[in-house]
Amino acid sequence: MSSPASRRNSCRGAAAGSRAESHPGRRRASSCPYFSPGAQSEDFPVSLSQPMFAITLRFLLAVDLWLSKRLGVCACEESPWGSIRPLVRLVEFSGHVIPWLVGTVYSLLRGESVAEQELMLNLTLALILDLLVVRAVKMLVRRRTPAQNRSDIFSAFFVERYSFPSGHASRAAMCARFFLAQLADTASMRVLVVGWAVLVSLSRLLLARHYVTDVGFGLAMGYCQYSVMERLWVTWDCLQDQLFIQLRESLDRAYDGLWMVDWKH
């Protein structure tokens, strides 16, 4: 037969257990309301025995992850701003590489003046350079895309496996600098170009395609890519001279080869 003291202790334990079950939020952190409960979370354990550089890096990565999650308000239809997701996806598509390449190549082939063809030629080369550099850095870093990222056929023609850096952001920055330096001659045009680049970069965060550091590094990389293209600017006359020289050398080699053939009757 149990004593009164043991019965009181057992009653207190049962009451404490019922209170803990009725308030589960006290024992575990609340999940982010912007994402599904199945989304994986990343932990950045910090130990005081680690170097200061490693602690700072882990802290910055944690801030990057937290801020990226807070900005992904259009990640899916159930997100807080899910109603404007189609509009954000349309802005995202305006920075895709395929329509830009198709448009520049078409303008290059149908250009009415030498100056227009020269501009479109260099813009095409800049887009190809941006595509190659972004792909190389992604394969080198191999940072996975956010877990809540949803691939859409409308916004991408192939599934993106890696996140760093953002190709849309680098392309937007490079094209914005290109148009500001070569074509935008009015204040309203400059505001329109800069606003488009900002919206394209922001759309990658709202749709949870990239982390904040991916977009920031992409913008910096695109800014520097135009500086490289400006130094390596290809003029139309230089291109024609190079093509003429190559064609003449090919014809000379073919003509010499005909004379060296041992004709047999």
Q: Does 210 qualify as catalytic in the annotation?
A: yes
Q: What is the end-to-end Cα distance of the chain in Å, rounded?
A: 125
User: Pick the catalytic residue: 23, 96, 210, 265?
Assistant: 210
CA distance linking residue 45 with residue 168, whole number of Å: 32
Structure tokens at 224: 């520097």
Which of these, 132, 219, 121, lies nearest to 168 by C-alpha position? 219
* Assigned token pair, 141: 């870093």
Instruction: Give the pair of three-digit tokens for residue 15.
Output: 């009451």
Q: 75, 149 in Cβ contact below 8 A? A: yes
**Any idea which residue has 């230089």 for tokens?**
238
Residues whose CB is less than 8 angstroms from the CB of residue 146 and which lie 6 or more positions away in sequence, other chains included: 68, 69, 72, 163, 208, 209, 210, 211
Query: 200, 94 in Cβ contact below 8 A?
Result: yes
Buried b (16+ CB within 10 A) or exposed e, 194-214: eebbebbbbbbbbbbbbbbbb
Cβ atoms of 178 and 125 closer than 8 Å = no
Catalytic, 265? Answer: no
Contact 162, 265 (CB under 8 A): no
- CA 115 – CA 255 distance, rounded (Å): 35
Question: Catalytic: which of 23, 96, 168, 265?
Answer: 168
User: Which residues are identified as catalytic?
Assistant: 168, 210
